Amino acid sequence: MALEFHFTDTPPQGYLDELHSLDVPKLYDPLLSKQQRGNLMVLIKKRLNDWHKKIRTQLKAIEGRYDSSNRDKARLIAAPYKTLEDLGNDLSTAVIELERSMRAGRVVPQGFSFGTHIFGELQRGEWHLGDSDDVYLWEDYTTLRRRMEAVGSEYKPLLENVKVSKARVKQQQNDIKAMMASYKRRKSPLNIIIRLLPVLLVVIFTLTMALYTLGSDEALAEALSNQAIGSILLLVATVAAILMIVLVRRRTRHLKELKENITQGKHFLQDLKGAYKQARIDYYPTDKLYKELRAEYKILKASFPS
């Protein structure tokens, strides 16, 4: 449900118009005699007091319409009246200071003026005083802010998409570097030696011992024993040789798979770079517009300090 004033509420502009009807700045008219200024001050103080009673009654009525669960709504509805109450307090203070100056026989200070219009945004609780030009400027300001917010709602997802796309490109580049380093390391002669040399030495050693034992020219009993040992060693050598072949083939297959993964990774990287490029193409026009709107918004916002 949209936030709005109650039908029994006096519009904020009504209270401001009444303040203007008191004509407090008239007290600073240098053409007034001391008696005229004194008589006018008595009248204005009384009318100001009556005005304060009305604004306080209005604020109490607003507070009484909302329970503790709706304090934020009450605060927003009361915001323009609070702004007017502060203005009324400033005017009362100015009248009191002028009265003191008159009693002290000092020169009447320079007069002042205050806004003829109160304007703002109920949903934000932001209210200002000014003239008709300020009202038009406020309309431009709020229109610009809404446009900036609309562009911002498009800008943020686009910016996030650029960041994500860039991060994915970076991650893929790192993955490819890691795979290339692994491929280079596994393909190096040193790596081959480290992995296959122990098995190769076992094959050579056991095969040599097997041939030596089988070819030994000893007595029959010892020959049979040597032949058994030699057969075992020959079997071990055969198993070790098979193991070495398996390791070589496995290494070759792993290197082939790793190379294929690197090739696929590079293709995928190109796709990611294309997506990143497109994300930037989509992002930069909106980014430029958003920054232009923000710059203009800041200039206008300076006219309406919080």
DSSP characters for 273-290?
Answer: HHHHHHHHHHHHHHHHHH
Kindly state whether residues 107 and 169 are assigned to the same domain. Answer: no
The answer to whether residue 5 sits within a structural domain is no
Confidence of residue 244 (pLDDT cuts 50, 70, 90): low
The answer to whether residue 147 sits within a structural domain is no
Confidence of residue 163 (pLDDT cuts 50, 70, 90): very high
Kindly state whether residues 103 and 200 are assigned to the same domain. Answer: no
**For residue range 30-42, what is the model confidence (pLDDT) as tens digits?**
899 989 999 999 9
Give the CA angle between residues 222, 228, 234 to the nearest 5°: 130
Tell me if 95 sits within 8 A of 45, measured CB to CB: yes
Kindly state whether residues 245 and 163 are assigned to the same domain. Answer: yes
The parent domain of residue 75 ranges over 12-130
Kindly state whether residues 230 and 272 are assigned to the same domain. Answer: yes
Q: Cα–Cα distance between 226 and 212 in angstroms, integer?
A: 9
Kindly state whether residues 264 and 161 are assigned to the same domain. Answer: yes
pLDDT at 96 over 50: yes
Kindly state whether residues 123 and 158 are assigned to the same domain. Answer: no
Choose among 289, 91, 254: nearest CA to 297: 289
How many domains does the chain fold into? 2
Average pLDDT on 91-101 reads 93
Kindly state whether residues 122 and 164 are assigned to the same domain. Answer: no
**For residue range 230-243, what is the model confidence (pLDDT) as tens digits?**
566 555 656 666 66
Kindly state whether residues 126 and 168 are assigned to the same domain. Answer: no
Kindly state whether residues 43 and 114 are assigned to the same domain. Answer: yes
The answer to whether residue 90 sits within a structural domain is yes
The answer to whether residue 61 sits within a structural domain is yes
Q: What does pLDDT average to over the chain? A: 83
